[in-house]
A and B are shown apart, each in its own frame.
Chain A
Amino acid sequence: QITLKESGPTLVRPTQTLTLTCTFSGFSLSESGEGVNWIRQPPGKALEWLALIYWDDDKLYSPSLENRLTITKDTSKNQVVLTMANMDPVDAATYYCAHAAYGSLTGYYDYWGQGTLVTVSS
């Protein structure tokens, strides 16, 4: 069974860099076709896709945020890390990581973590 769990700070100051970790089980990012995404939801607003990293270290970023985002993986720890630079109060959101894999569900997110709420305030 695939599970994912997000962790990181609940509060960051404006201009700081946010670092979030997704720890997963039930699949390996060393296996062909596997990927992990980051998606966020500001309070009362819609979901927004942020970034994706594949098993082969290929990476995709939201064009609207890519100059602030970095996604990396640690296959040995079954972890994916997202950093977002220069945080602003508008970046306050619940941040989710989600599994995606090549196959019949290519491009869709079949397993999600429960999310972690991040507040941005001085």
Chain B
Amino acid sequence: VLTQSPATLSLSPGERATLSCRASQSLSKYLAWYQLKPGQAPRLLIYNASNRAPGIPARFIGSGSGTDFTLTISSLEPEDFAVYYCQYRSSWPRFGQGTKVEIK
């Protein structure tokens, strides 16, 4: 089970966003983060906990291992307001419940 927190994060452009994903058992490094916006294809941001996917801006930073993972957006851009999901890589892939980053 993946538990994301907070459920909603209300921030202003330029602020730092810190999203958490906690696993019920160790995942080693096998966690990804995705960004979802209405009407758009989801986007892979981070894989293996800390590797940015090709084309992803440096402001997206993944960290953590084992059971605790964090996605940090160092300075929010207007296009970053979206819902973010973590995902565990396995033969039965699982997603967290999501964190909505909304404009304050």
- Asked if A115 contacts B41 (CB within 8 A), the reply is yes
When chains A and B are docked, how far (Å) is the Cα of A42 from the Cα of B98? 13
A interface majority secondary structure: loop
A to B contact number (C-beta, < 8 Å)? 58
Question: Cβ of A49: which chain B residues have Cβ within 8 Å of it?
Answer: 92-95
Instruction: Identify A46's interface contact among B41, B43, B89, B96, CB under 8 A.
Output: B96
The contact string, 1 if C-beta is below 8 Å from chain A, for chain B 43-83, is 11001100101000000000000000000000000000000
Of all chain B residues, the one with the shortest Cβ separation from A52 is B93
A90 interface residue per 8 A CB criterion: no
Q: How large is the interface on B (under 10, 10 to 19, 20 to 34, 35 or more residues)?
A: 20 to 34
> Once the chains bind, are B89 and A106 in contact (CB under 8 Å)?
yes
Secondary structure call for the B interface: loop
The answer to whether A110 touches B44 (Cβ under 8 A) is: yes
Once the chains are docked, how many angstroms separate the CA of A1 from the CA of B53? 15
Interface flag for A107 (CB, 8 Å): yes
Residues on B with C-beta less than 8 A from A108 are 32, 44, 47, 87, 89
Residues on B lying within 8 angstroms of A by beta carbon are 30, 32, 34, 36, 39-44, 47-48, 51, 53, 85, 87, 89-98
Residues of A within 8 A of B (CB): 4, 41, 46-49, 60, 62-63, 96, 98, 104-115
